Amino acid sequence: MFLDTMSPEAIIKEARRDTTAIQNKRDFFINTHRREILFAKKFPVSYRIEWKSPLTYNKWHIIITCNNKKERENPDVHYYSTYETHCGTGIIFPVYNIKTEELVFSRYTGHFFSRYRTCHLIPNNLHTPGMDVIRYYVDHNSSYFYPKPDEEKRFTCCLTDGIALGICENGLDTFRTFISHDMLFKIQERVLHSSIEYQRLLDAYINDKLPASYQKYYLQGRVGRIAGPEPAPKLSLDDVKDLLKDKPKIPLFSPLNGKIELED
């Protein structure tokens, strides 16, 4: 059974055992709703089956989806398993990577779904009392651009409803938190305003502190004449010390918490 304390390697090992069993029973699951799929008049249609693994005792939610008439004989099947965390219910979600043609495993934390509810469902009047937030998320975000981690194994993933931030840990992609499209726009707006404010501070600082000869050169560069009509005037050591003493701090933006803080 999946536990919040399990290592990424242990989660992947246990998930592979269950996914192999699910794939072996794929036809059985489809045949359970074969008649409804064949006689469906409107598409897409989807059906859900709950299955408990006899190997690991994990509870899996299996979703059979037929998007159009041509897929009646071979509908899509995807599935996820829930597990409990101190922040709520999370899921283990196997996803087929088209590029590598392999099954990869994602872990969504309880905090992720809490943020999804708070930042997307509630502001858009989509949340109702007692609704299955995980089910809604999976139904609307089953396809996404596969994340590419940076050097520190962190990734940003584009979803239908927003942006996911997470980390790749030994082959397991952990989706840690969620940012809605509206929040992303507000963050970009704050970054723009902070850059404008910093430029204003920098201009005021230069006009106040720089020697007159260097002010003229700087302003010429600001209007496009980067090289200036003449070589840049040299600053004395005392000028440099005076400049660094009261230099305005640069606003630094953190996408993880949406805060803008001044550099040390």
pTM of the model: 0.70
The more confident residue out of 197 and 35 is 35
Q: Which of 56-70, 158-172, 190-204, 213-227 has the lowest mean pLDDT?
A: 213-227
| Cα separation, 174 vs 107, whole angstroms | 5
- Tell me if 30 sits within 8 A of 39, measured CB to CB: no
Q: Over the stretch 129-138, which tens digit does the pLDDT of each residue have? A: 889 999 999 9
Give the residue extent of every domain in the chain: 8-181, 184-262
Q: Over the stretch 108-165, which tens digit does the pLDDT of each residue have? A: 999 999 999 999 999 999 999 889 999 999 999 876 666 667 777 888 888 889 889 9
| Cα separation, 3 vs 49, whole angstroms | 22
